[in-house]
């Protein structure tokens, strides 16, 4: 299969979002210990935030109100209260993923001079999220890309949820969401899932799995 364009997801593919986000809202976890994330939670970070141990200053904290509630309460966060904790600086300062350099090298080798890799990422938005949170999210992501991506890529990005709008038979998507990968394929594109604790490839080595799947697409 001939691939002329490679689309790369930003969060948890280029950067390390999920574990840092969970730590940011007070979950008692180690950034680098993915065993803290139960694969049964799937692609639902708010479920994870509600399920994980959560201690601040030796006390249980359950949401942006700062109120203390019984430890057996099932939900600390709603959609709104969770995402309202993330400002522009959080998004801009996320560390790069361990796989980023390899992914960029693979993408550049595939596309060569015909095109360059580009980023597809979704903002945090909707009627339950204040406009300033959405603006901070988009601004922070753009600052992150300007800081960490090669010069030839810094303006090559699209922000929006329906990534499958970019699907063609010669376009490859690298993403950590089963849903995004499946929708991209259904729309006629090629897609590879990057293994993460929250997706169906969670037991695989990320780089080995990625390279193997891409080779199968190219041959």
User: pLDDT tens digits, residue range 1-10?
Assistant: 889 999 999 9
Distance of CA 169 to the CA centre of its chain: 24
Segments making up each domain of the chain, as ranges: 5-16+87-218, 18-83
Q: What is the DSSP letter of 94?
A: P
Superfamily for domain range 5-16+87-218: HAD superfamily/HAD-like (3.40.50.1000)
| CA angle (95, 110, 117) in 5-degree steps | 45
Residue-wise pLDDT tens digits, 71-116: 444 578 999 999 999 999 999 999 999 999 999 999 988 877 556 7
- Note the pTM of the prediction, 2 decimals: 0.90
* Alpha helix stretches (DSSP H) within the chain: 18-24, 45-51, 79-83, 88-92, 100-111, 131-148, 178-186, 206-218
Residue 28 has pLDDT above 70, yes or no: yes
CB atoms within 10 A of CB 61: 17
């Amino acid at each position: 299969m001939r691939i002329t364009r490679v689309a790369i997801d930003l969060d948890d593919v280029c950067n390390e979002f999920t574990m840092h986000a969970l730590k940011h809202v007070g979950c008692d976890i180690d950034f680098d210990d993915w065993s803290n994330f139960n694969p049964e939670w799937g692609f639902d970070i708010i479920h994870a935030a509600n399920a994980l141990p959560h201690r601040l200053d030796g006390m249980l904290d359950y949401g942006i109100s700062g109120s203390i509630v019984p430890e057996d309460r099932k939900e600390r966060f709603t959609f709104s209260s969770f995402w309202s904790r993330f400002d522009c600086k959080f998004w801009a300062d996320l560390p790069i993923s361990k796989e980023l350099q390899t992914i960029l090298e693979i993408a550049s080798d595939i596309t060569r001079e015909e095109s360059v890799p580009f980023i597809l990422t979704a903002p945090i938005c909707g009627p339950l999220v204040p406009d300033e949170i959405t603006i901070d999210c988009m601004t922070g992501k753009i600052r992150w890309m300007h800081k960490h991506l090669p010069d030839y890529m810094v303006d090559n990005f699209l922000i929006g949820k329906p990534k499958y709008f970019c699907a063609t038979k010669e376009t490859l998507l690298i993403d950590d969401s089963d849903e995004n990968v499946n929708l991209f394929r259904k729309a006629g594109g090629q897609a590879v899932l990057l293994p993460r604790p929250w997706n169906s490839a969670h037991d695989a080595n990320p780089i080995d799995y990625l390279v193997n799947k891409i080779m199968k697409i190219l041959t």
